[in-house]
Amino acid sequence: MDATPQNKVLSRLDESLLTHLPPFSRLDRQQIRAILDQATSRRYNAGVSIFDEGAPADRFFMLLDGYVRVVRITPTGEQVTALHIPAGQLLGMAKVLGRVTYPATAITATESIVLSWPMRLWDSFIQDYDGFATETYKTLGHRVGEMNTRIVELATQQVEQRVANAILRLISQTGRKVPGGIEIDFPITRQDLSELTATTLHTVSRLLSAWEKRGLVASKRKRITVTDPHALVVLSQG
């Protein structure tokens, strides 16, 4: 994976970019200016690694625009997609996990704009900025909850239910209304879905083809649209 961003540091960013984001929403403009003045901003092409599993966790990140896939590498070398993260969330929070290396790899699913700060600033952000710690732990708790849900699904659900639940989660997190349904708002392949649901590419392709014939979904060019959400919810429940 190419770890080189598309271009260098972006021009000076306005404080309004952070005022609506939960970790910074309780701060005044002067505090946000101080935070931005310590940040590095970069634009990444799609498919680029922001940080890699096992690398020293020397920075933490905020996704301003775009979507990111969080992937893990198994002992046998297989890539497994653990999470999809939308804009407005923190990434690379190794410090809060008590780690000095990144536990996973973050790869841009679309062209993305990312802020980052040296990890040495984490403790001062927690101490100095009202709401930063609270919202950080909320974000972490949400992600742990999502992972626990997926573990339960893997242990108790049939493949069809797991794939349906994965698609429903994605449209809940990132869906946008389009003519004919709700589209997952970033490119996602059938291989991505197979990694998310611990099943084979062949099985995912077979399910999506069958659902398209039934009018539940439409998929083309790495785009998936749910055309009958209620029917997909029924499938997800078995």
Q: Domain check: are 145 and 163 in the same one? A: no
Beta strands in the chain (DSSP E): 40-44, 49-51, 59-65, 67-73, 79-86, 90-91, 105-108, 112-118, 175-178, 181-184, 217-220, 223-226
Residues found in the chain: 238
Over residues 6-46, the pLDDT tens digits come to 444 455 778 888 888 888 888 888 899 999 999 999 999 99
Range of the structural domain that residue 33 is part of: 16-150
What confidence category does residue 53 fall into, taking pLDDT thresholds of 50, 70 and 90? very high
C-alpha span between 191 and 202 (Å, rounded): 9
Q: For position 107, which CATH number holds?
A: 2.60.120.10
- Element at 233 (helix H, strand E): helix 229-236
Looking at 119, 150, 181, which one is the last position of a domain? 150
Q: From the centroid of its chain, how far is CA 52?
A: 15
Q: Domain check: are 141 and 187 in the same one? A: no
What are residue 113's DSSP bridge partners?
Answer: 43, 65
C-alpha span between 170 and 205 (Å, rounded): 17
Q: Domain check: are 109 and 144 in the same one? A: yes
Q: Domain check: are 64 and 135 in the same one? A: yes
Q: Domain check: are 37 and 129 in the same one? A: yes
Check residue 149 and give its pLDDT: 82
What confidence category does residue 94 fall into, taking pLDDT thresholds of 50, 70 and 90? very high
Q: From the centroid of its chain, how far is CA 16?
A: 23
Q: Domain check: are 136 and 169 in the same one? A: no
Over residues 206-217, the pLDDT tens digits come to 999 999 999 999
Q: Domain check: are 168 and 207 in the same one? A: yes
Higher pLDDT, 62 or 1: 62
Q: Domain check: are 140 and 209 in the same one? A: no
Looking at 150, 165, 190, which one is the last position of a domain? 150
Q: Does residue 200 belong to any structural domain of this protein?
A: yes
Q: Does residue 8 belong to any structural domain of this protein?
A: no
Q: What pTM did the predictor assign?
A: 0.79
Name the phi and psi angles at 180, rounded to 5.
100, -5
User: What is the 8-class DSSP label of residue 110?
Assistant: S
